[in-house]
């Protein structure tokens, strides 16, 4: 019996990789305009890192982490997200000693034991960016400008930016208490999950998709009505900067994020085209996180995009792999040897060249050339070897011209380079 891959973990097949490469290359290009540099952290971290940053009572930490003990009995976890590892690395390598401001981005796989469905997987990929060391609202707007610039650049225009503010340790406790009191009066209408966690994490109740919970919390007061003056002013400035950059957005006061580290600005880029998985990108400010992880008291803000979701939105249509520039068909053993030598030489010189290694009949070799969508075919038989030239056929218009064969394949190489 054959062995299938792990549920919720996908192969990214050759037909899809050109799109993935484009999505990553565009991020590298766009992010570089804004001064971001790449960081790569391990896929595995100490479990404690995620418990302390994402929060013990979040869905991710409570039920979605791939946690295991290594042979030494140390608890390790496959990273469910990229922010905490980047902060861990920033602190560990004392990057703040060189420059407190760091603009970092990352691409790579993340792991969450969620129920797989379209756009939601157990291994998925994020492209993320983080700015450490700037608390000015201008950087909030700048990070959002970069995110929208990226979406423009990959041609995904039908997305909506929603923003919110979740307050800070000054004002959130007051809102939390208020919310707990509100929820307490409606406990009988809530799902089991919400009844269990409303005291430890009441904001999550606002995010519950169960219809009873949605109805029960419809009248709950908004976090925006409980912001302290500092948070209110910050949020006002962010909105002003977004307006001055002419970036369209809406305020969604019910947006609560699934990770506990957020303070002040939070945001999601949502789409109507992915069913229940509407967020293609999300993030926010996390001003207390670095100190909480044992680092200096520095602010931070960032986002991550789900690459699978970007790929689903883009679709792989129209991305045809590039066929070989030349296919060398060979007839007979000597010709096959010469074809192999020529093909290798062309490849070394940056030409996409192919042949049929088994050298079947001419008909089957031409069929293969056609299947690979080769642009030209060189036909090499004993006669051609004898007279020192061979016909090069253009597969588009059927035209043919003789190419003189020289030991270094220079004639062929020139012909291909001049008509690339």
Residues that bind ligand HAM (CB under 6 A): 81-83, 112, 114, 119-121, 124, 126, 128, 130, 258-259, 279-284, 302-306, 308-309
169 vs 321, which CB is nearer to ligand HAM? 169
231 vs 270, which CB is nearer to ligand HAM? 270
Here the tokens at position 84 are 């905490």
The 3-class SS string of the chain reads CCCCCCCCECCCCCCCHHHHHHHHHHHHHHHHHCCCEECCCCCEEEHHHHHHHHCCCCHHHHHHCCEEECCCCCEEEECCCCHHHHHHHHHHCCHHHHCCCEEEEEEEEEECCCCCECCECCEEEEEEEEEECCCCHHHHHHHHHHHHHHHHHCCCCCCEEEEEECCCCCCHHHHHHHHHHHHHCCHHHCCHHHHHHCCCCHHHHHHCCCHHHHHHCCCCCCHHHHCCHHHHHHHHHHHHHHHHCCCCCEECCCCCCCCCCCEEEEEEEECCCCCCCCEEEEEEECCCHHHHCCCCCCCEEEEEEEHHHHHHHHCCCCCCCCCCCEEEEECCHHHHHHHHHHHHHHHHCCCCEEECCCCCCHHHHHHHHHHCCCCEEEEECHHHHHHCEEEEEECCCCCEEEEECCCCCHHHHHHHHHCC
Shortest distance (Å) from residue 128 CB to ligand HAM: 5
Half-sphere exposure of 287 (CA within 13 A, CB side): 18
Q: Is 261 annotated as a binding residue?
A: yes
CA-to-CA distance for 356 and 35, rounded, in angstroms? 47
87 vs 353, which CB is nearer to ligand HAM? 87
Q: Is 184 annotated as a binding residue?
A: no
Shortest distance (Å) from residue 397 CB to ligand HAM: 46
Q: Is 172 annotated as a binding residue?
A: no
169 vs 350, which CB is nearer to ligand HAM? 169
Shortest distance (Å) from residue 305 CB to ligand HAM: 6
Q: Is 130 annotated as a binding residue?
A: yes
Which residue of this chain has its Cβ atom nearest to ligand HAM in the complex?
Answer: 306
Contact 355, 328 (CB under 8 A): yes
Given the DSSP bridges, would you call strands 389-394 and 376-380 parallel, antiparallel or unpaired?
A: antiparallel
Q: Is 57 annotated as a binding residue?
A: no
Shortest distance (Å) from residue 373 CB to ligand HAM: 33
Shortest distance (Å) from residue 172 CB to ligand HAM: 17
The packing angle between helices 137-153 and 17-33, to 10°, is: 140
Shortest distance (Å) from residue 109 CB to ligand HAM: 10
Q: Is 257 annotated as a binding residue?
A: yes
Q: Is 83 annotated as a binding residue?
A: yes
Q: Is 121 annotated as a binding residue?
A: no
Shortest distance (Å) from residue 66 CB to ligand HAM: 12
130 vs 325, which CB is nearer to ligand HAM? 130
Q: Is 34 annotated as a binding residue?
A: no
Shortest distance (Å) from residue 84 CB to ligand HAM: 8
Shortest distance (Å) from residue 315 CB to ligand HAM: 17
167 vs 302, which CB is nearer to ligand HAM? 302
130 vs 140, which CB is nearer to ligand HAM? 130
226 vs 309, which CB is nearer to ligand HAM? 309
Annotated binding site: 81-83, 112, 126, 130, 257, 261-262
Annotated binding site for L-histidine: 81-83, 112, 126, 130, 257, 261-262
């Amino acid at each position: 019996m054959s062995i299938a891959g792990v549920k919720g973990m996908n192969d990214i097949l050759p037909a899809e990789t050109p799109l993935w490469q484009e999505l990553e290359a565009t991020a590298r290009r766009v992010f570089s305009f804004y001064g971001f540099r790449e960081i790569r952290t391990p896929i595995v971290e100490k479990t404690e890192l995620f418990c302390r940053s994402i929060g013990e009572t979040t869905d991710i930490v409570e039920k979605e982490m791939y946690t295991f003990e290594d042979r030494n009995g140390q608890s390790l976890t496959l990273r469910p997200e990229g922010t905490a590892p980047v902060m861990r690395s920033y602190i560990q390598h004392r990057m703040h000693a060189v420059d407190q401001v760091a603009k970092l981005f990352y691409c790579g796989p993340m792991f969450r034991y969620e129920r797989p469905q379209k756009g939601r997987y157990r291994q998925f990929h994020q492209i993320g960016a983080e700015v450490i060391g700037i608390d000015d609202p201008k950087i909030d707007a700048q990070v959002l400008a970069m995110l929208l610039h990226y979406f423009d650049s990959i041609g995904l225009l039908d997305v909506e930016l929603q923003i919110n503010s979740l307050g800070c340790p000054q004002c959130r406790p007051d809102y939390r208490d208020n919310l707990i009191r509100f929820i307490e009066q409606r406990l009988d209408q809530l799902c089991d999950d919400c009844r269990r966690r409303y005291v430890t994490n009441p904001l999550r109740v606002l995010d519950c998709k169960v219809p009873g919970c949605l109805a029960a919390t419809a009248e709950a007061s908004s976090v925006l009505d409980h912001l302290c003056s500092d948070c209110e002013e910050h949020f006002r400035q962010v909105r002003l900067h977004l307006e001055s950059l002419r970036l369209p957005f809406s305020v969604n006061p019910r947006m609560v994020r699934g990770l506990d580290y957020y303070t002040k600005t939070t945001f999601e880029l949502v789409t109507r085209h992915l069913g229940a998985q509407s967020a293609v990108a999300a993030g926010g400010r996390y001003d207390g996180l670095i100190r909480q992880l044992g680092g200096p008291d520095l602010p931070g803000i960032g986002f991550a995009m789900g690459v699978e979701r970007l790929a689903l939105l883009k679709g792989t249509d129209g991305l045809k792999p590039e066929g070989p520039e030349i296919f060398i068909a060979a007839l007979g053993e000597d010709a096959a040897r010469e074809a192999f030598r020529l093909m290798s030489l062309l490849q070394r010189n940056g030409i996409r060249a192919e042949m049929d290694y088994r050298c079947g009949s001419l008909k089957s070799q031409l069929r293969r050339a056609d299947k690979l969508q080769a642009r030209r075919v060189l036909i090499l038989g004993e006669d051609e070897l004898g007279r020192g030239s061979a016909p090069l056929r253009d597969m588009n218009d059927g035209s043919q011209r003789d190419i003189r064969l020289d030991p270094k394949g220079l004639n062929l190489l020139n012909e291909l380079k001049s008509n690339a």
